[in-house]
Amino acid sequence: MVVHLPVLLNEAIDALAIKTDGVYVDGTFGYGGHSRLILSRLGKKGRLIAFDKDLAAIKAAAMIDDKRFSIRHCSYVKIQNELLALRVERVDGVLLDLGVSSSQLDESTRGFSFRLEGPLDMRMDTSCGQTAAEWLNSVTESQLEEVIRNYGEERNAKQIARAIVMARARHPISSTIQLAEIVAAVVRARGYQREGKHHPATRTFQAIRIYLNQELEELLLTLPQCVDLLNPGGRLVAISFHSLEDRIVKRFMRTEASSDRLPHKLPLRDREVKALSKQRLRLVGKATRPGAQEIAVNPRARSAVMRVAERIIISE
CA distances from 243 to 124, 155, 196, 238 (A): 20, 15, 16, 13
Q: Is 33 annotated as a binding residue?
A: yes
Residue 111 lies in a domain: no
Inter-residue contact 173 to 164 (CB < 8 Å): yes
Q: Could you tell me if 53 and 99 lie in one domain?
A: yes
CATH number at residue 179: 1.10.150.170
Q: Could you tell me if 207 and 239 lie in one domain?
A: no
Q: Is 118 annotated as a binding residue?
A: no
Residue 110 lies in a domain: no
Q: Could you tell me if 238 and 172 lie in one domain?
A: no
Q: Could you tell me if 229 and 80 lie in one domain?
A: yes
Q: Give the end of a domain, one of 212, 234, 264.
A: 212
Q: Is 32 annotated as a binding residue?
A: yes
Q: Give the end of a domain, one of 212, 236, 252.
A: 212
Burial environment of residue 93 by CB neighbours within 10 A (0 to 12, 13 to 18, 19 or more): buried
Query: How far, in Å, CA of 151 to CA of 142, rounded?
Result: 14
Q: Could you tell me if 252 and 229 lie in one domain?
A: yes
Residue 108 lies in a domain: no
- What distance, in Å, lies between the first and last C-alpha atoms of the chain? 55
Nearest to 79 by CA among 117, 23, 119: 23
Residue 55 lies in a domain: yes
pLDDT band at 156; cut points 50, 70, 90: very high
Residue 109 lies in a domain: no
Inter-residue contact 112 to 104 (CB < 8 Å): yes
Residue 117 lies in a domain: no
Domain containing 173 equals 125-212
Q: Could you tell me if 191 and 270 lie in one domain?
A: no
Q: Could you tell me if 230 and 94 lie in one domain?
A: yes
Task: Answer whether 0.85 is exceeded by the pTM.
Answer: yes
Q: Could you tell me if 205 and 233 lie in one domain?
A: no
CATH number at residue 85: 3.40.50.150
- Mean pLDDT of all residues in 43-50: 98
Is the pLDDT at 276 greater than 60, yes or no?
no
- Mean pLDDT of all residues in 293-303: 91
Summarised one tens digit per residue, pLDDT across range 176-211 is 999 999 999 998 876 655 545 678 999 999 999 999
DSSP secondary structure code for residue 95 in this structure: E
Q: Is 192 annotated as a binding residue?
A: no
Q: Give the end of a domain, one of 161, 195, 212.
A: 212
Residue 316 lies in a domain: no
Number of separate domains in the chain: 2
Inter-residue contact 133 to 189 (CB < 8 Å): no
pLDDT of residue 316: 47
Q: Could you tell me if 93 and 22 lie in one domain?
A: yes
Burial environment of residue 3 by CB neighbours within 10 A (0 to 12, 13 to 18, 19 or more): exposed
Q: Could you tell me if 92 and 223 lie in one domain?
A: yes
Q: Which 3 state secondary structure label does DSSP give 305?
A: strand
pLDDT of residue 102: 77
Q: Is 228 annotated as a binding residue?
A: no
Q: Could you tell me if 153 and 178 lie in one domain?
A: yes
Question: Given its phi and psi angles, is residue 199 left (phi above 0), alpha (psi -120 to 50 degrees) or beta?
Answer: beta
Nearest to 24 by CA among 215, 224, 222, 226: 226
Nearest to 284 by CA among 98, 11, 97: 11
Nearest to 281 by CA among 210, 211, 232: 232
pLDDT band at 107; cut points 50, 70, 90: confident
pLDDT of residue 191: 62
CA distances from 176 to 1, 51, 204 (A): 22, 28, 11
pLDDT band at 269; cut points 50, 70, 90: low
